[in-house]
A and B are shown apart, each in its own frame.
Chain A
Amino acid sequence: MAKKNECIAMLLAGGQGSRLGVLTKNIAKPAVPYGGKYRIIDFPLSNCVNSGIYTVGVLTQYQPLELNDYIGNGGPWDLDRANGGVHILSPYQQIEGTEWYKGTANAIYQNIQFIDRYNPEYVAVLSGDHIYKMDYAKMLQFHKQKDAACTIAMLEVPWEEASRFGLMFVDDDGRITAFEEKPKNPKSNKASMGVYMFTWEKLRKYLIDDEADPDSSNDFGKNVIPAMHEAGERLFAYGFDGYWKDVGTIDSLWEANLDLLNPKANIDLSDNSWKIYGRGAVTAPQYVSDKAVIENSLAAEGCEIEGKVDYSVLFSNVTVEEGAFVDYSIVMPGAVIKKGAVVQYAMVAENAVIEEGAVVGENPEKCENLENWGVSVVGAGVTVGKNAKVKAQSMISEDVKEGETV
């Protein structure tokens, strides 16, 4: 048995993220680039090490290749350790046969042996698709103070958005009295952030019970937590008031990137006391030419900027040629925007090429039919031919020919 760890983290990173379309064609959602030089998974991983949790199991299932490669030995997050560190946990063959992770709870269930090796008192269950900075150590302290079986991180969301979330009712002491899953007419605006702290002894028992129930869909939110609640376990809500965003959709991913340019959005990545770590590209500083105009934007190292960039996020090694215009857009690593091309209200994935004079995306203010407006997406490695046009809300996974409109 390994050295005893008080708290370890299990990070659910197996989701396909199907609502992100072409962006997750070949990579798992947590590996999707975010914020100019990060990937989504950098946030929970950095939160772990910044909170003093140095043993992290990353549960992967969908397209794990790039994610495994990215995490590697965990060095960029200081998670290459003699004791603990980061571990990739994929479904594996067992004597009873091979089984995919059937649900979030089943994924943890299948790794009970892994957790037992570290013999922790507490297990944090995190998801790999949220952007937020949070001190799990404070949450653990709260969990211990309340002598809880499970503590759920809670965020007060605007009432009009509440129906999209799993909601909680909480008494004065912070104890959860009832749940409501995505109701049409919400009576609470206290939403679950998908961040859980469990007392391992309790969770272990409920995971085994849940697995024995053939009717269960083996999900934390649907099965395990309600079961604990019904059994009268002490469930508490831990209030969080910082920036938190689920980046599960094209629109929310686009918005979350642009939030970095909005001083009111309360997400500051320049704070040295809570750094977000990642495996960065080894590349020179960015070059901004005398023809370039760059304002109100974020740009990473290795970029060559000769065109105009406004209210946008450029990842590493992006080229914006002379006369090109990037506006309200997210351009991922290695993409090239050629002379005179326009990229507006769009996301351009890794290594895509927008040829001369092409136009990607539409400005909603100039869009004739606002109902059909939406962010345009160009998939990884796709070439948009000369003078071609990619309409609003289009999602392109194959090359667009010269002059074509899609």
Chain B
Amino acid sequence: MMPKNVLGIIYSNSYDSSLGALTARRTMGSVPFGGRYRLIDFALSNLVNCGVTKVGVIANSNFHSLMDHVGSGRPWDLSRKVDGLYMLPPFTPGATESGDRIDTLNRIMEFIATSKQEYVLLMDSNVVCNMDLSKLFSFHSGKNADITIAYANGKAPKLEKTMALTLAEDGKVTNVGIDVKTESDINYSTNIILIRKALLERLIGDAESYAYTSFEKDLIQKNISHLNIYGYKVDEWSKTIDSMETYFDANMALLEKACRKNLFRADAPVYTKVRNDMPVIYGITSKCENSLIADGCQIEGTVKNSIIFRGVRVAKGAVVENSILMQDAFVGEDARLNCVIMDKNTVITPKKTLSGDKSYPLFVGKEIVI
């Protein structure tokens, strides 16, 4: 299967509500991550790195920051005459949409139908992974599968309609559980799903005729015996974001070398919007330990075990520990932060002390001054 023959479809609003305040004014796809990225960068980069040339980004609500970030798709080389990036916002303003996969796919069926690609790859934007999708494509062809679902092994994410796959030895899906209640490791779907376009059109058509409402239950679970559905194990490091806690952990995981080596590779770069900040300036009084720091920062205080986004300033005497500071946040002199997530453009005035816990990081919302 040629990657050019695959149409990428990314849901930018996947499970927005699981991140609460962080997605109050943005989509899951535009949630900042890892010092300089937005979550959607991973899905977009994975697609273009394997050679996919046409990508539709579905946006249902709150998508201004997403549009601003993705733009014409230039950073991912998706600003093209033939194929390239397509934003797919709602058709009619004010139309109520459940955000369900079937509804959403139904809405963009014309876009899918008129694409010349024969296959469709559906992706969510809450999965952090640098994944070689070409392996998934050849797995799909090799198995002669109708549908291939990429899965990871571990504790199931606490997200609605999470699919747990039971697999035969050859990878064929023999059973699908939905919202399985268990604390042990399972094979859970990352919602990266490859399917032939004609089949997807038929399934969505059926769903409309029979008023199906659940993609997972009505289109996947019910079809296990009718269709060749396979599970493909994601080999690479991956993290599915399902709460503020996993968001915090996934960021902090980047402080481990093994994780960075897996996620940020020279042969498969993660692309993002360019900001043209200057390099990081470390002052005479700066102290920095075990931290990830992006361009444009000015560090004069102490930073430990933290993720610092572009343009952050940490003033003299300030101490930042176990925290995530997003774009252009400012920490005033002698302020102290521990286990805090500061959203964009937030300000901590001098001498303030803020503290959360690793299991419950304190969140400071966008543009708030404390």
User: A residues bordering B, Cβ < 8 Å?
Assistant: 35-37, 75-76, 261, 269-270, 275-278, 280, 282-290, 292-301, 309, 313-315
Which residues of chain A are within 8 angstroms of B20 by Cβ–Cβ distance? none
Q: Which residue of A lies closest to B299 (CB)?
A: A294
A275-B276 in contact (CB<8A): yes
> CA of A37 to CA of B276 in the docked complex: distance in angstroms?
9
Q: With A270-B278, A284-B260 in contact, do A296 and B292 touch (Cβ < 8 Å)? A: no
Give per-residue flags for B287-299: 1 if the beta carbon is below 8 A from chain A beta carbons, else 0: 1111111111010
**Distance between Cα atoms of A173 and B273 in the complex (Å):** 48
Tell whether B154 is near chain A: CB-to-CB under 8 Å.
Answer: no
Docked-complex contact A270 and B276, CB < 8 angstroms? no
Give chain B's interface secondary structure class. loop
Which chain B residues (262-308) contact chain A, with CB distance < 8 Å?
A: 263-264, 269-271, 274, 276-296, 298, 303-304, 307-308
**A270 & B298 in contact (Cβ 8 Å cutoff):** yes
Q: Which residues of B contact A294 (CB under 8 A)?
A: 282, 286, 288
Please give me the residue from chain A that is nearest to B272 by CB atom.
Answer: A282
A residues near B36, Cβ cutoff 8 Å: 284-285, 301
Given contacts A295-B286, A301-B36, contact A287 B292 (CB under 8 A): yes
Determine whether the beta carbon of A283 is less than 8 Å from that of B290.
Answer: no
Whether the pair B279, A288 counts as a contact (CB closer than 8 A) is no
Please report the C-alpha to C-alpha distance between residue A294 and residue B286 in the assembled complex, in whole angstroms.
7
Q: B282 to A284, Cβ gap below 8 A?
A: no
Residue B108 lies at the interface, judged by CB distance under 8 Å to chain A: no
The answer to whether B278 touches A287 (Cβ under 8 A) is no
B255 at the interface (CB under 8 A from A): yes
The answer on a CB contact under 8 Å between B298 and A296 is: no
Q: Is B35 an interface residue (CB 8 A)?
A: yes
Q: Is the CB of B294 within 8 A of A285?
A: yes
User: Which residues of chain B come closer than 8 Å to A75, judged between CB atoms?
Assistant: 74
Name which residue of chain B comes closest to A269, CB basis. Answer: B278
Known: A269-B278, A280-B274, A283-B269. A288 touches B293 (CB 8 A): yes
Given contacts A282-B271, A301-B36, contact A296 B282 (CB under 8 A): yes
- Shortest beta-carbon contacts, A-B, top 6: A36-B279, A285-B35, A284-B264, A269-B278, A300-B279, A285-B294
> Given contacts A270-B298, A297-B282, is CB(A288)–CB(B288) below 8 Å?
yes
A313–B280 Cα gap in the complex (Å)? 10
Q: How far is the CB of B44 from chain A (nearest CB, A)?
A: 13
**Are A289 and B290 within 8 A (Cβ)?**
yes
Docked-complex contact A288 and B283, CB < 8 angstroms: no
B276 touches A276 (CB 8 A): yes
Q: What are 16 inter-chain pairs, A to B, with CB distance below 8 A?
A: A76-B276, A270-B277, A270-B296, A270-B298, A280-B274, A284-B36, A284-B260, A286-B293, A287-B291, A288-B288, A298-B279, A298-B281, A301-B36, A301-B294, A309-B282, A315-B279
Q: Which residue of A lies closest to B286 (CB)?
A: A295
Chain A residue nearest in CB terms to B74: A75
A313 to B279 alpha-carbon distance, docked (Å): 9
Q: Which residues of A contact B289 (CB under 8 A)?
A: 288-290, 292
Q: Which residues of A contact B271 (CB under 8 A)?
A: 282
Q: Nearest Cβ in chain A — how far from B191, in angstroms?
A: 25
Min C-beta distance of B300 to chain A, whole Å: 10
Chain B residues near A286 (CB-CB < 8 A): 280, 292-294
- In the bound complex, how far is the Cα of B280 from the Cα of A270, in angstroms? 10
Chain B nearest CB from A233 CB (Å) reads 39
Question: In the bound complex, what is the Cα–Cα distance between A277 and B274 (angstroms)?
Answer: 10
- The CA of A37 and the CA of B271, in the complex, are separated in Å by 17
Q: How far is the CA of A36 from the CA of B295 in the complex (A)?
A: 10
Q: Which chain B residues lie closer than 8 Å to A285 at the CB level? A: 34-36, 292-295, 307-308
For A277, the chain B residues whose CB sits under 8 A away are 276
List of B residues within 8 angstroms of A278 by Cβ: 276
Determine the residue in chain A with the shortest Cβ distance to B265: A284
Pick the residue among A37, A282, A287 that contacts B279 (CB under 8 A). A37
- With A295-B284, A295-B286, A298-B281 known as contacts, the answer to whether A287 contacts B260 (CB < 8 A) is yes
Beyond A275-B276, A299-B279, 10 additional pairs, beta carbon < 8 A:
A75-B74, A270-B277, A270-B281, A285-B294, A286-B292, A286-B294, A289-B289, A296-B283, A296-B284, A309-B282
Are B278's CB and A76's CB within 8 A?
no
